[in-house]
Chain A
């Protein structure tokens, strides 16, 4: 690793916009910065564009979607200039991906041992035996006891939680510099959830691996991430360090999200809090603030374009009001 690379940010994306081939905007002007070794959380309701953002970093945008950005650099590699083969092998070597709904991310006709290790054999230039030994170590680290049987199974012989753990182990195979985890613990019960997240923390501390974690679970993000991005309808509503965000939330959406985190001392028969309404269809352009339809503070001014407001260098939000 040379000095120049050291100085660079892990992720430096300016004004990422993702559009469909018919010109509808799904993600608008998202700016994403990540430092080395950082754990960044992206939180928001389903279909707010969190996964799409991650997929653009992984070069996995579904057919028919296109991205544009002023700047798009990951670990110093410029996606705007570099050729696709280089980007693909770069991702394979340096980024681990834990997808959402891991069920179909493993090939049903190939044994686990034959798909967990092929990337490692390629990039670490190790033998298959060495790769399988590492795989066994990793799957036991995510709480699987009979590793031998697991590695010799086909995906459909495993439960959803098992498959998810295989995916987590697979993402860690190449000792990645960065992990992108999209709802990584969705199919796991709470004890395993904790185990997996602690494993991320260990990897983060021991190898300075950065983690980009995407979740709709604000509680999980709060427990785990140092800095948090609140995303709504394809735009960033607010970004701040964790403590700052929870102590001093500025955007009405962030406030609403914090309010709906279920607390443990709920009274019997008490209804869980919710945010009324739904995420707007991102394909229909909205004039002004995208959250206005569900916002309790809505005024006429909300129909006009909103600028980012800076509280300090680590905290900004997108709202007309100072609440």
Chain B
């Protein structure tokens, strides 16, 4: 077990290294001069040169990269010229927003998909099944920014149930916090439910076909026990993997929803960093999100291993 985790960490480090190298290279090669962007088009060449030197942009790329890499080991991602703050601090400020809506939308998506997906499998080829799968198909086909705007108009402006923009930190009360993240999470969830629901339905159908389901029925167990204890248990492995992938995607990909709902999260920070060519910031963000994604997939893999007693018992025996 420890051996496995160690191997995965080594692997993660390799991935991080490659990703950082690629990001660095891409940012180096895209056209546009950072010094020009900062100082504006009427800056004198002397001033531009001076700024380049002070930013370290005049040195060879591998020296720049090496400096940055050294900082990484000290958890120092450098300075954002745009905000004049440490990149690590900026990420720490924005992370709760993105993490909140990612976790909350995953929660909504998982509960809905497990319930409705199981229901669709149990009631296979009935109207319930067609209705549920059809609805979810629709949900995952419609772009999230459009649903987001509809929700803002309907729930925010018309019914006035939820605030339409902004983020309230959890320290200012749980209910206001929940209110501020509910709509964006809900909209994000709609996009994710479809795929997850199909996965739940398929693996549930598979486990309902197994012989042990016959035995559970013959024992006269109540339907709830039959489905929860016997069917869902073996049907959860594939969906958990999908949830991991989706969650990782949400952590790094809430740019659109954060913009629609004006939330100060990591996604919006990326957008700003790209627009303003804030290389240090962008680089730091990319490497941090990569790290998050790797961490999540590691956690999911370990969770799946623990769910499967065959692997668990083998490890206990080691």
State which of A33-41, A116-124, A199-207, A222-230 sits at the interface with chain B: A116-124
A268-B252 Cα distance, complex, nearest whole Å: 76
A58-B313 Cα distance, complex, nearest whole Å: 34
| Cross-chain contact B220 with A105 (CB below 8 angstroms) | no
| Cross-chain contact A110 with B229 (CB below 8 angstroms) | yes
State which of A89-97, A234-242, A278-286 sits at the interface with chain B: A89-97
Given known contacts A104-B211, A118-B225, A154-B309, A109 and B218 CB-to-CB distance under 8 angstroms? no
Q: Tell me the A residues contacting B by CB distance below 8 Å.
A: 58-60, 88-93, 95, 97, 99, 101, 103-111, 115, 118-119, 122-123, 154, 156-157, 167, 170
| Cross-chain contact A106 with B215 (CB below 8 angstroms) | yes
| Cross-chain contact B217 with A104 (CB below 8 angstroms) | no
Whether, in the assembled complex, B210 has its beta carbon less than 8 Å from a beta carbon of chain A, the answer is: yes
Hey, which chain B residues are within 8 Å of A157, CB to CB? 313
| Cross-chain contact B221 with A105 (CB below 8 angstroms) | no
Hey, which chain B residues are within 8 Å of A106, CB to CB? 212, 215
| Cross-chain contact B219 with A118 (CB below 8 angstroms) | yes
Most A CB contacts (10 A, CB to CB) among B214, B218, B234, B307 go to B218
A225-B171 Cα distance, complex, nearest whole Å: 76
Q: Smallest distance from the beta carbon of A103 to chain B beta carbons, Å?
A: 8
Identify B212's interface contact among A97, A107, A119, CB under 8 A.
A107
Hey, which chain A residues are within 8 Å of B219, CB to CB? 92, 118-119, 122, 170
Given known contacts A92-B221, A110-B229, A118-B219, A105 and B211 CB-to-CB distance under 8 angstroms? yes
| Cross-chain contact B220 with A109 (CB below 8 angstroms) | no
Q: Smallest distance from the beta carbon of A197 to chain B beta carbons, Å?
A: 21
Q: Smallest distance from the beta carbon of A303 to chain B beta carbons, Å?
A: 39
Hey, which chain B residues are within 8 Å of A123, CB to CB? 220
| Cross-chain contact A109 with B309 (CB below 8 angstroms) | yes
Identify A58's interface contact among B212, B218, B229, B230, CB under 8 A.
B218
Given known contacts A154-B309, A156-B310, A60 and B230 CB-to-CB distance under 8 angstroms? no
Q: Smallest distance from the beta carbon of B104 to chain A beta carbons, Å?
A: 29
8 pairs of residues in contact across A and B, judged by CB atoms under 8 Å: A58-B218, A59-B217, A99-B215, A106-B212, A110-B233, A118-B221, A118-B229, A122-B219
Q: Tell me the B residues contacting A by CB distance below 8 Å.
A: 210-212, 214-222, 225, 229-230, 233-234, 307-310, 313
Hey, which chain B residues are within 8 Å of A101, CB to CB? 211
| Cross-chain contact B234 with A97 (CB below 8 angstroms) | no
Hey, which chain A residues are within 8 Å of B313, CB to CB? 154, 157
A92-B230 Cα distance, complex, nearest whole Å: 16
A111-B219 Cα distance, complex, nearest whole Å: 16
Identify A97's interface contact among B215, B229, B309, CB under 8 A.
B215
A110-B210 Cα distance, complex, nearest whole Å: 14
Q: Output the nearest chain A residue to B219 by Cβ-Cβ distance.
A: A119
Q: Output the nearest chain A residue to B215 by Cβ-Cβ distance.
A: A105
Identify B220's interface contact among A93, A103, A110, A154, CB under 8 A.
A93
Hey, which chain A residues are within 8 Å of B221, CB to CB? 92, 118-119, 122
Hey, which chain B residues are within 8 Å of A93, CB to CB? 220
Q: Is the interface of B mostly helix, strand, loop or mixed?
A: helix
* Given A92-B219, A101-B211, 20 new contacts (CB under 8 A): A88-B217, A91-B217, A92-B220, A92-B221, A95-B218, A103-B211, A105-B212, A107-B233, A108-B234, A109-B234, A109-B307, A109-B308, A110-B230, A118-B219, A118-B229, A119-B219, A123-B220, A156-B310, A167-B215, A170-B219
Q: Output the nearest chain A residue to B213 by Cβ-Cβ distance.
A: A107
Q: Smallest distance from the beta carbon of B236 to chain A beta carbons, Å?
A: 10
Given known contacts A118-B219, A119-B220, A60 and B233 CB-to-CB distance under 8 angstroms? no
Hey, which chain B residues are within 8 Å of A103, CB to CB? 211
Q: Smallest distance from the beta carbon of B230 to chain A beta carbons, Å?
A: 6
| Cross-chain contact B234 with A99 (CB below 8 angstroms) | no
Hey, which chain A residues are within 8 Å of B225, CB to CB? 118
| Cross-chain contact A105 with B214 (CB below 8 angstroms) | yes
A106-B214 Cα distance, complex, nearest whole Å: 10
A91-B211 Cα distance, complex, nearest whole Å: 17
Q: Smallest distance from the beta carbon of B120 to chain A beta carbons, Å?
A: 16
Hey, which chain B residues are within 8 Å of A89, CB to CB? 220
Hey, which chain A residues are within 8 Å of B218, CB to CB? 58, 60, 91-92, 95, 97
Given known contacts A97-B215, A106-B212, A109-B309, A122 and B220 CB-to-CB distance under 8 angstroms? yes
| Cross-chain contact A109 with B233 (CB below 8 angstroms) | yes
Q: Smallest distance from the beta carbon of A283 to chain B beta carbons, Å?
A: 21
Q: Output the nearest chain B residue to A107 by Cβ-Cβ distance.
A: B212
| Cross-chain contact A60 with B214 (CB below 8 angstroms) | yes
Hey, which chain B residues are within 8 Å of A58, CB to CB? 218
A-B CB proximity, top 5 nearest: A92-B220, A119-B219, A104-B211, A107-B212, A97-B218
Q: Output the nearest chain A residue to B207 by Cβ-Cβ distance.
A: A107
Q: Smallest distance from the beta carbon of B214 to chain A beta carbons, Å?
A: 5
Q: Output the nearest chain B residue to A167 by Cβ-Cβ distance.
A: B215
Q: Smallest distance from the beta carbon of A165 to chain B beta carbons, Å?
A: 15
A107-B233 Cα distance, complex, nearest whole Å: 10
Q: Smallest distance from the beta carbon of B294 to chain A beta carbons, Å?
A: 28
Hey, which chain B residues are within 8 Å of A88, CB to CB? 217, 220
A122-B216 Cα distance, complex, nearest whole Å: 12
| Cross-chain contact B212 with A104 (CB below 8 angstroms) | yes
Hey, which chain B residues are within 8 Å of A60, CB to CB? 214, 217-218
Given known contacts A97-B215, A156-B310, A107 and B230 CB-to-CB distance under 8 angstroms? yes
| Cross-chain contact B210 with A104 (CB below 8 angstroms) | yes
A60-B215 Cα distance, complex, nearest whole Å: 9
| Cross-chain contact B211 with A99 (CB below 8 angstroms) | yes
